[in-house]
């Protein structure tokens, strides 16, 4: 067994054991099947319990096939399908990086699985022992095609996401709940200005009385002359 066979064995065992661990965790860890079913339902998939058991069987089964090197393109295709569903429904919206719950991790596993389908399981495998090895473009495309087909079928049959919640500001208001605008106080009419009392103006042609002429006492003048 040369270095290439050793590297392929290492990849198969690590990826296969990872899938087995995930399947057991979905089955027995945390909330067990009920918790896994709730998680799938939260992703928008109907029949959460069915999805939970399907994930357990698929992940453990794919892992066992890869570790044994038996039906390697089939096991690799199952890994691609699981990672594709997880990437689309759970991780895509979070971006790339795994520490932000992104699709980095599932992308790496899916690409490694496709590479295993193309490169084959190596000599340390049951495929090689039974002489049923499928490698090259056929093995890689078989793994990719199975994964994509399984994903499309699953989403078409079971993906029914709940409508996005509407914020209170965007919610339509029924006529009964519509706020009633306050009654506007009547505006009193503008009061007409009160004219000032005007003094009567005499007509222009009215006669003007002359001042009375002073009265002269002539007796006084006579006394002054004497």
pLDDT at residue 98, rounded to an integer:
94
pLDDT at residue 163, rounded to an integer:
80
How many whole angstroms separate alpha carbon 84 and alpha carbon 107?
8
How many whole angstroms separate alpha carbon 76 and alpha carbon 114?
6
How many whole angstroms separate alpha carbon 215 and alpha carbon 226?
21
What is the band of 225 on the pLDDT scale with cuts at 50, 70, 90?
Answer: very low
pLDDT at residue 1, rounded to an integer:
82
Q: What is the pLDDT of residues 146-169, one digit of tens each?
A: 999 999 999 999 999 988 666 666
**What 3-state DSSP class applies to 87?**
helix
70 versus 216: which is more confidently predicted? 70
pLDDT at residue 10, rounded to an integer:
97
Nearest to 90 by CA among 78, 80, 100: 100
Q: What is the pLDDT of residues 69-116, one digit of tens each?
A: 999 999 999 999 999 999 999 999 999 999 999 999 999 999 999 999
Q: Tokens 């860890």 identify what position?
A: 29
What whole-number percentage of the chain has pLDDT above 70?
A: 72
- What the block records as the tokens of 55 is 């994930």
Q: What angle do CA 59, 143, 153 make, to 5 degrees?
A: 70
- What the block records as the tokens of 7 is 């590297």
Nearest to 114 by CA among 79, 62, 82: 79
What is the band of 214 on the pLDDT scale with cuts at 50, 70, 90?
Answer: low
| pLDDT surpasses 60 at 192 | no
Least confident of 54-63, 152-161, 167-176, 210-219: 210-219
Nearest to 66 by CA among 8, 5, 145: 8
C-beta separation of 17 from 67 below 8 A: yes
pLDDT at residue 218, rounded to an integer:
52
C-beta separation of 113 from 15 below 8 A: yes
C-beta separation of 121 from 12 below 8 A: yes
Give how far Cα 101 sits from Cα of 14, 90, 225, Å: 22, 8, 140
**pTM beyond 0.75, yes or no:** no
Mean pLDDT over each residue of the chain, to the nearest integer: 85
Nearest to 34 by CA among 20, 50, 46: 50
What is the band of 223 on the pLDDT scale with cuts at 50, 70, 90?
Answer: very low
The domain locations on the chain are 3-158
């Amino acid at each position: 067994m040369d270095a290439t066979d050793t590297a392929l064995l290492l990849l198969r065992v690590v990826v296969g054991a990872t899938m087995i661990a995930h399947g057991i965790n979905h089955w027995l860890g945390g909330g067990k099947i009920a918790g896994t079913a709730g998680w799938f339902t939260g992703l928008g998939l109907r029949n959460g319990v069915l999805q939970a058991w399907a994930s357990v069987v698929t992940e453990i089964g794919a892992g066992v096939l890869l570790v044994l090197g038996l039906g390697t393109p089939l096991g690799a295709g199952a890994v691609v399908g699981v990672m594709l569903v997880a990437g689309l429904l759970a991780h895509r919206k979070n971006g790339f990086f795994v520490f932000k719950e992104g699709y980095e991790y599932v992308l790496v596993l899916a690409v490694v699985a496709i590479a295993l389908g193309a490169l084959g399981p190596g000599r340390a495998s049951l495929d090689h022992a039974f002489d049923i090895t499928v490698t090259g473009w056929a093995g890689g495309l078989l793994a990719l095609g199975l994964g994509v087909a399984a994903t499309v079928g699953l989403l078409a049959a079971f993906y029914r996401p709940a409508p996005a919640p509407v914020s209170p500001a965007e919610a339509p208001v029924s006529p009964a709940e519509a706020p009633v605008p306050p009654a506007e106080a009547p505006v009193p009419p503008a009061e007409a200005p009160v004219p000032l009392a005007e003094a009567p103006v005499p007509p222009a042609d009215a006669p003007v009385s002359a001042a009375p002429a002073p009265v002269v006492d002539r007796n006084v003048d006579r006394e002054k002359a004497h």
